[in-house]
Chains A and B, each alone.
Chain A
Amino acid sequence: MFKNKDRYLSFLLVLPSILAVMIFIYGFIGWSIRVSLSKWKGLTPNFEWAGLKNYIDLFSDPRFMVDIRNTVIFTVVFVVGCIVVGFLLAVMLDQGLKGEAFFRTLFLFPMAISFIVTGVVWRWLMNPATGSRMSGLNLLFSYLNLDFLINNWHTTPTWGIAAVALAAIWQMSGYTMALYLAGLRSIPLELREAAQIDGASELQIYRYVILPILTPVTLSVLIILGHISLKVFDLIIAMAGKQLALDVPAIYMWQTTFDGLFYARGAAIATLLLISVAVLIVPYMWFTLRSEKQL
């Protein structure tokens, strides 16, 4: 009897947050999906049924094709770059060098600033101007007589988005390093010693002992960075403004909805974004929740 009332009370206590989440998250997701199936264009809501037309149109929309291409390039460069740089930094810090705390903080610092700041600073650094107006990295390369490195950065056709990913790698590789470092520190020394006694070289130890143990960390990194890169918006706005060569779905969604008043199309892009992130996150959450239950 007493136990039942306690459960009743606890349910009441979490009720407000359940309600808020239901309304402000799931309710609005449902509403966005409804809008994406409508013919709403212009300031006045119009819920006339359009079926999947908005989605079908998107997949023949040349701009959306550019967006998909850019997202794929950005995600691959960003995630692979962060994992490689982050892992190398973590391995170096793990060697027990002097001033480790200092370097750890140093590498983590970029994460503390917002993507907008990163974007503005890297836009200056990656200034593609030539001749007397040359500046930023290009100017540095020119001083160092490394002229072959001078390039157009984010204004390069097709691959410009990879330059934006460079800025993102700079920002997030410290975070990746922190995750890997925690993973490395949790590996018992005995394992390395055992491998050494078996005659494994340092490289083999990393390849056959440490990397396999770190697989769950890599998975987490993949998920965290992956969903950041699918939703990337602020970094690109700060670096490139509204230039279409660097367009991504989130920017298209924003522009078409609020500049062009194509509400239904914007909602369709939002829904596709949600689905792509969900495809990445849901199996991961399901997996972690299940393994937690087993413990």
Chain B
Amino acid sequence: MSKKFWYSLMAVLILTAVVLSACGGAATQAPAEATQPPAQGGKEVEVFSWWTGGGEAAGLEAMIKVFNTKYPDIKFINAAVAGGAGTNARAVLATRLQSGDPPDSWQGHAGQELIGTYVAGGQIQPLNDLYESEGWLKVMPETLIPLISQDGKIYSVPVNIHRANVLWYNPKILEENKIAVPTTVDEWFAAMDKLKAAGVTPLALGEQWTKMHLLETVLLGTLGAEKYNGLWNGTTDWGSAEVKTALENFQKAMTYANTDSASLSWQDAAQLVVNGDAAFNVMGDWAEGYFRELGKKPRVDYGWAPVPGTVGVFQFLSDSFVLAVGAPDPEAAVAWLKVAGSKEGQEAFNPVKGSICARTDCDKSLFGEYLQSAMDDWASNVVVGSLTHGVVANDSWKSEIDTALGLFVSNGDLAAFQTALVNACKASGPCK
């Protein structure tokens, strides 16, 4: 064989190696951990989240500080992936899980979004022992536990709590039109009729997911807590007359909304209320953080109440952390979960993030006026889960509901909407 041949062969091999390594690098997309080389020989815990900006990242940093004082010998690796409210992070996580390289613990919305995805895939472990040894069952609301469990097994540690069923209103507009804050759905509609007649946009609404948010609160407001829970565990029939009434209420509520909702984000929609362009907005209580950012004053520029029909009910969503099956360092992972569920950890995280503790014993003086009222409700109300934010339905079911809702918004066919909801529950939910 000539020299030329061997040179060529070598060139081919080198090229192949370059091509393959380039592909490998692109496919795994090593997250932020690359910037933090692991400590030599010591224990470490890798925690995966999408908290990379604003109050969330600052809150996580505060919680990491608590972790570092409590467990100085464990190195904390913050594997946060930015972008798309978790969409990117979840894609990276799915890739890592499929290739058998799980982080020790990762963030997920408490409830069925986690359970339907990761329990079904056998990727997270039950945490009942931890709940008992840490006494969390005593400090978290009793009605919360079933919502984050499957078959009696608790699967995640909620760090923060947000409330979904909040009705934000503009106090000045209500006063000018002599309207009391509505507490029932009928009162709400009457108030909005009055506002509409007075030439005020009654309800501020945004892009598609804010419509799903409105839908879930109207379902809750019309059906009540027990039947609302029944929708998600299969005991309330989606095809029933009462669900139809709820959907009709939703359809009616939509008629009070601004006409350009499709082009508004949730911030745009919420801002309409504090700017006096609309009277009501239904949005989770992260809106309060946004109002503060805009320099608005509570009780003056904005007021709040439970969404009409949901007084005494706390529709929650929560970010929580799980324990991976096959976690590289299970002990360190449990240490992290202990901090995440502890009073110190939650008190460090939540005031910065603008949410309340999942525990009911946090120090109230750390929080602002709205959050204090939310803490009172959290400790005393019936707790139900949010659909839009992953508590009550798994991802597949939620995406089918989302599609049905989107079609309904564009064609207004209520009967087809209800049929699609019935089918979605059969195909991806507990309905038979």
Contact = CB atoms under 8 A, between A and B. Distances in A.
Contacts of B260: 127-130, 152, 155
Interface in B14-64: 15-16, 19, 23
Nearest to A258: B91
A12 interface: yes
A42 B9 CA distance: 44
Contacts of A259: 87, 395, 398-399, 402
B207 interface: yes
Nearest to A20: B19
Given A128-B262, A240-B262, 12 more contacts: A19-B16, A20-B23, A24-B23, A43-B98, A43-B117, A63-B403, A63-B406, A128-B260, A130-B259, A244-B409, A245-B409, A260-B398
List the 8 closest pairs (A to B, CB-CB), nearest first.
Answer: A244-B406, A260-B399, A245-B410, A128-B260, A43-B121, A155-B262, A129-B260, A16-B16
A30 interface: no
Given A240-B262, A243-B262, A256-B399, A62 B4 contact: no
B5 A128 contact: no
Contact of A127 (B12, B263, B277): B263
B400 interface: yes
Contact of B406 (A43, A129, A247, A262): A247
Contact of A132 (B117, B277, B399): B277
B249 interface: no
Contacts of A157: 410
6 contacts: A13-B11, A63-B406, A123-B263, A155-B259, A243-B262, A245-B410
B94 interface: yes
Contacts of B407: 62-63, 66, 244
B370 interface: no
B185 to A, nearest CB: 26
Contacts of B117: 42-43, 261
Interface residues of B, number: 46
Classify the secondary structure of A's interface with B. helix
B229 interface: no
Nearest to B275: A133
B125 interface: no
B5 A43 contact: no
B208 interface: yes
B277 A133 contact: yes
Nearest to B7: A9
Given A155-B262, A157-B410, A244-B406, A41 B396 contact: yes
Contact of A16 (B4, B19, B87, B263): B19
Place the interface of chain A in its size category.
35 or more
Contacts of A128: 259-260, 262-263
A247 B402 CA distance: 13
A244 B208 contact: yes
A16 B5 contact: no
A12 B97 contact: no
A243 B97 contact: no
A182 interface: no
A243 B118 contact: no
B120 interface: yes
Given A43-B118, A261-B117, A66 B410 contact: yes
B207 A242 contact: yes
Interface in A225-255: 240-245, 247, 255
B8 interface: yes
A16 B12 contact: yes
Contacts of B136: none
A240 B207 CA distance: 9
Interface in B183-238: 207-209
B200 to A, nearest CB: 11
A71 to B, nearest CB: 16
Interface in B91-105: 91, 94, 97-98
Contacts of B399: 255-256, 259-262
Nearest to B1: A5
A261 B398 CA distance: 11
A242 B396 contact: no
Nearest to A155: B262
A189 to B, nearest CB: 49
Contacts of B120: 42-44
The CB with the most chain B CB atoms within 10 A, among A17, A24, A42, is that of: A42
B121 A243 contact: no
Interface in A125-156: 127-130, 132-133, 152, 154-155
Nearest to A62: B407
A243 B208 CA distance: 6
A117 interface: no
Contact of A12 (B9, B19, B209, B258): B9
Interface string A63-74: 100100000000
The CB with the most chain B CB atoms within 10 A, among A13, A66, A152, A261, is that of: A261
Nearest to B16: A16
A43 B396 CA distance: 11
A44 B117 CA distance: 9
B209 A242 contact: yes
Contacts of A152: 259-260
